[in-house]
Structure 1
């Protein structure tokens, strides 16, 4: 199989780095990275340095690293791990690589990425996915994983999962803790109820995950936002575990105290953010369903004003 990893930040760098470590220069499989600028140059010259919390450190050397996806030719698997605001543009560039049997998997935060990809890509099999990991781009040519179980879930929105078993096996054999699921919608919402409210509260407060959890006021706000997500999911016929709010807060408690969310880091650095993905999506979905989501409304309003400054 040939796998194309689009976006070599924390997520793409970790999972792509695992695959490149396992399959680099294999006679049967190949791994291609799509990166840009100085990051591309560093990887091309020195490989991708991957540092992890519990799995050691290594240099990942993909078969090819390029800023032109078409250089890869046609591929069997595409993993998208770009920022949400870059998804459509990246998908356009990847279109020449996709054949009728290509599995195209979004690993982005958010709920509607498969729908967005389907609007651009008219071949292959568009699958949704989600990951649980805390990782970031430390410097050009270097990614660091600091927390999370490093798990990857993926599957079709409808239809049988069996055609995608070879993809699951490829990922597993490459060292990725991957699970093919026939209920990817629940997996996406289970992730969203975690990352959306956490991203909003950490960005608004400036506190790390540990700082949010130890503050009674912020923890209460976090739980309230999670309840708003749960209400919208329920109205969309997504069944989530009854205790998902408690479990999500418990999961956040298990991350290192100093962990910051990706959107929080973007706000701190003055970068473009994924505010619409983390918070705005839920605001719109709640309004469309006539569901009150006052905490999301407030967080979105205040962070949008901050982003405009």
Structure 2
């Protein structure tokens, strides 16, 4: 189970490589999609499952992972959608640890839909420099959040993975929740002056948007702003 951020993916790949054999299944839980090709190139296409984590966690000063709110859900499946005994085994292990693991018919679609959710939250909070509730508390804040969501959802739809209305509605309600303290980890990293997952989460999505001829001016602006931050972090060294 590979649950690092994209900023440490390469180091994690080096660390886990000696443990990967012919029967190993790798379950990556990173946001976005670019890591799938990277892992498949390194370990073989058949070794890599699709995966989605729906958790709200952060690191404390001691490096412990803190669960900040429910739920605890991990989705997984073969990337081609076929039934798989190894996926059933992985889900059984996760369920035994108290993790909800519902069956999902299209794990790649689920990954795209999570990507839309997390990209929207990251762009909204990073551009507005505030938690969801703080954005909603000012005139135009809710409308701004919904406009960002529309851009991200349009990219997913153009790629062949339209976000179901139920999930769009959930994200829209999340964005419009009054007084919500919700912030994504990318935004928390930004405020702390740490490197962020801008390229893996926003940069890759906006690049795909351009390839698909989908206009994403708000997501482009968020990507630009975060890239400036990355340069400052790198310069500070």
Report if the CA contact (8 A) 1:156-1:182 is conserved: no
Spell out, residue by residue over 1:138-196, the C-alpha distance to the aligned partner (whole angstroms, 9 max, x if none): 13253221124121111111042332101111110111112342301221122111110
Cα 1:212–1:276 change in 2 (3 A) is same
RMSD (Å) for aligned C-alpha atoms: 2.2
Report if the CA contact (8 A) 2:116-2:156 is conserved: no
Cα 1:97–1:128 change in 2 (3 A) is same
Q: Which runs of 5+ in 2 are unaligned?
A: 233-237
Runs of 4+ in 1 over 6 A off after TM superposition: none
Report if the CA contact (8 A) 1:147-1:256 is conserved: no
Partner of 2:216: 293
Which of 1 and 2 has higher RCO (CA within 8 Å, sep 6+)?
2
Partner of 2:6: 84
SS of the aligned residue for 1:103 comes to: coil
Report if the CA contact (8 A) 1:107-1:130 is conserved: yes
- For 2:145 and 2:82, the matched residues in 1 are separated by 36
Cα 1:187–1:160 change in 2 (3 A) is same
- For 1:173 and 1:152, the matched residues in 2 are separated by 13
- For 1:139 and 1:226, the matched residues in 2 are separated by 32
Q: How many residues align?
A: 231
With the length of structure 1 as denominator, give the TM-score of the two structures.
0.69
Cα 1:85–1:151 change in 2 (3 A) is same
Query: Shift of residue 80 of structure 1?
Result: 0.8
Higher strand share: 1
Query: Shift of residue 241 of structure 1?
Result: 1.1
Report if the CA contact (8 A) 2:142-2:176 is conserved: no
Query: Shift of residue 88 of structure 1?
Result: 2.7
Partner of 2:227: 304
Q: Which runs of 5+ in 1 are unaligned?
A: 1-78
Higher helix share: 2
With the length of structure 2 as denominator, give the TM-score of the two structures.
0.88
2:120 matched to 1:120?
no
Spell out, residue by residue over 1:57-91, the C-alpha distance to the aligned partner (whole angstroms, 9 max, x if none): xxxxxxxxxxxxxxxxxxxxxx1111102213311
Of the candidates 202, 206, 231, which is equivalent to residue 154 of structure 2? 231
